Amino acid sequence: MAAFRPGRILGGSAASLRALFHRRPSEPQAFEVAFEAAVYQVRIRRHRQARRYTLRIDAATRAVVLTVPLRGSLKDAKEFAQKHGAWIAARMNRLPKATPFAQGMIVPFRGVPHRIVHRPEARGTVWTEPNATGECLICVAGAPPHHNRRISDFLKREARRDLDAASRRYAADLDVAIKRISVRDQSSRWGSCSNSGVLSFSWRLILAPPFVLDYLAAHEVAHLVELNHSPRFWRLLKRLHADSAHAKAWLDSHGADLHRYGPRAKTDNGPGLD
């Protein structure tokens, strides 16, 4: 996720509650910014804690998001985005192109490259196997129009199995209970933990090496004890997963690329941890 932080800070005294929290019903949710031969859709996100205009590119959804203070004007927001049209264009051009699952495509599965091959003689299922030369394969049966969905469903099942096992292993280490584990296609968080003990994860973690998935499971289980990012939380996480720095560095370098495979995640507010 790329972000452009500098922006004009809004000053002045505290506004009334009505001015601060009233959402403008007639304000558009997005507007367009033109730069050279391209036109980019910019989504507006008003935030009560924002003090300046900031631009961000959501690599998962390929959305340009402009965060605007509640008191910020639409006119200033448009001028700010247009002023940074070159920045938007450069970041958008760097994003990897989305690629649906299809015959011959190479997909990382648990961090290992697998080639997708069609097995038309088999019944509607997906499995992995090596070929005669030792190359790892993801085999898919059925008609090609269904391959993208079938492989996505297979990867989600495998993600749920790995994340369930890792999360419950770490929960046992801490003697805490998990209410439920949810695996979805989310772009705003690789993982999250609710106040009620529900852990949520992105299924795309099954594309990463196992130590990355394990780190995310440990991170969210640690939140069952410390629902914050205090020094106590980080000490607890280090006790659970000693290689956290390596996993975080891998996500920083390669995490955005995981979102180009298969169906595109729904739009929300940019990848991270909670």
pTM: 0.71
Average pLDDT over residues 217-238: 95
CA distance 236 to 242: 10
CB 114, CB 136: distance < 8 Å: yes
Average pLDDT over residues 243-251: 92
Rounded to the nearest angstrom, the gap between the alpha carbon of residue 105 and the centroid of all alpha carbons in its chain is: 22
CA distance 216 to 183: 12
**Most confident residue range from 42-46, 86-90, 209-213:** 209-213
pLDDT tens figures, 197-216: 999 999 999 999 999 999 99
Kindly list the structural domains of the chain, giving each domain's residue range(s) and its CATH number in brackets, ordered by start.
2-94 (no CATH), 106-260 (3.30.2010.10)
DSSP H helical ranges for the chain: 17-21, 74-83, 85-94, 147-174, 210-222, 231-240, 244-254
Q: Are strands 180-184 and 198-202 parallel, antiparallel or unpaired?
A: parallel
CA distance 213 to 241: 11
Residue 163 burial class via C-beta count within 10 angstroms: exposed 0-12, middle 13-18, buried 19 and up: buried
| Mean pLDDT (the chain, rounded) | 85
For 150, 152, 156, 182, 250, the CA distances from 263, given in Å and listed in that order, are 11, 8, 12, 18, 22
Q: Rounded to 5 degrees, what are φ and ψ at 122?
A: -85, 165
